[in-house]
Amino acid sequence: MGPKFAQCFVSVLVLLSQLLSLTDGRDIGVCYGLNGNNLPPPKDVINLYKRNQIEDIRIYQPYPEVLEALRGSGLSVAIGPRNEDIASFAASQDAANAWVNTNIVPYKNNVSFKWITIGNEIIPGPLGSNVPAAMNNIKNALTSIGLTGVKVTTVLAGTALGTSYPPSAGAFRSDITETMTSIATILAQEDAPLMINVYPYFAYSSDPTHITAQYALLTSTAPVVMDGSLSYYNLFDAMVDSFNAALEKISFGNVKLVVAETGWPTAGNAPYTSASNAQTYNKNLLNHVMQNGTPRRPGFIMPTFFFEMFNENLKENTVEQNFGFYYPNMQPVYPFW
C-alpha cells in the first residue's frame, strides 16, 4: 500500500466513522398518525421504525395498542392527550393525575417516554390559555410517579407568530404573548424545549411567485434572504429562526426548539406536490438537521420529527392524506429510509 493510498484510506475511514457516529447519535423521529382505516398493526409499525433505525416516535394520543407495541422497543416517545382534555388538566390536579395513571404508569417501566405534548396547535385559540396550568399539573403528576426526566411542552404552528419576516422580526401574536411567556417560564425552569410544526411546503405552494422551489426544497446554493449579518439559504431555517427571535423578544432566547412536524406531500396539489419534491425536501432536510443548526442557533442540532409514517385515508383532503413515507401496505411511497 503506497503512502498516498494509505493516507486516502485513513481519510475515508475517518469520514466514515464520523458519518456513522452522526447517524448513531441522531435525534430524528417520525410521526405516527392513525387517521386511516387500512393501516397495519401497531407491532408491525414499530418493527418498521426499528428496521429503519428511526429512534423517536410521536403519537397524538395514548392509543393502548400502540403503547403495548412500544414496550421494550427502545424508541423515544413523544405523546400527548387529546386537545379537548387539556382544560380539565388545567382545572384539576386530580384529572392530570388520572391521565398519567391511566396512560403512562402502566407502561413506564418499558416504554421510554421523552416528551409529553400538552396541546397540538391550540395556541392561539380558545383552549390555549389552559396550557400553562395543564403543563404544571401534568409535570406534578409525572414527578409523583418518579418520571422526573420527561419533558412537558406544547406544540405550536406558524399561526402563533404575529410577525415572521424577516426572521429577526419574529414575534408572537400580541393576544398570546402572556400565555407564551408563562409557557416559556415553565420550559426554562425544566430545561424543556418548545415544539413547533414547520411546513415550508404550505408557504411555497400558497405563494410560488415570491418563494422559489429552491428556497423551499433546500436546494439553493446561494443566500436567498439576508437578515442583517445572517444568510438564509432555505425557508425551513428562516421559519425556525422566526420562533427563536420570538422567544428572544419575551426574554426566553435560552429555550430550545424541537421540530414536532415537518414534511412534504406527494399528491393533491400538482405541480407542488410530488414524490420527487417530497423526497428532495425530506432528504435535504434530514442531512441538514443532522449536521447544522440554523443561522440564529448555529451550534444547536435540533431534534426533528418528520411527518409522517403512513398515508392516512381519513384525513380531510388529498394533500393531508399524502404526507406518508409509506403506503398502508408498508411499501414505500418513494425510496427514503
| C-alpha span between 235 and 213 (Å, rounded) | 10
**Closest CA relative to residue 155, chosen from 60, 234, 238:** 60
| C-alpha span between 23 and 209 (Å, rounded) | 37
Q: Which residues pair with 332 in a beta bridge?
A: 326
Contact present, 169 and 244 (Cβ < 8 Å) = no
Q: Grid coordinates standing for 138?
A: 401534568
DSSP per-residue codes, 44-70: HHHHHHHHTT--EEE-SS--HHHHHHH
| C-alpha span between 118 and 132 (Å, rounded) | 9
Q: To which residue does cell 418520571 refer?
A: 147
**Closest CA relative to residue 307, chosen from 79, 114, 6, 33:** 33
121 in active site: yes
Residues 6+ apart with CB under 8 A from 40: 48, 310, 328, 329, 330
| C-alpha span between 146 and 149 (Å, rounded) | 9
What values do phi and psi take at 115, rounded to 5?
Answer: -135, 140
Q: One of 261, 312, 316, 320 is an active-site residue; which one?
A: 261
Q: Grid coordinates standing for 3?
A: 503512502
Q: One of 65, 84, 121, 190 is an active-site residue; which one?
A: 121
| C-alpha span between 106 and 84 (Å, rounded) | 23
| Alpha helices per DSSP H over the chain | 3-24, 42-51, 64-70, 86-91, 93-103, 131-144, 177-190, 200-206, 213-217, 235-249, 275-291, 318-321
261 in active site: yes
> How distant, in Å, are the alpha carbons of 16, 50, 87, 116, 319 from that of 174?
49, 43, 22, 26, 31
Active site residues: 121, 261
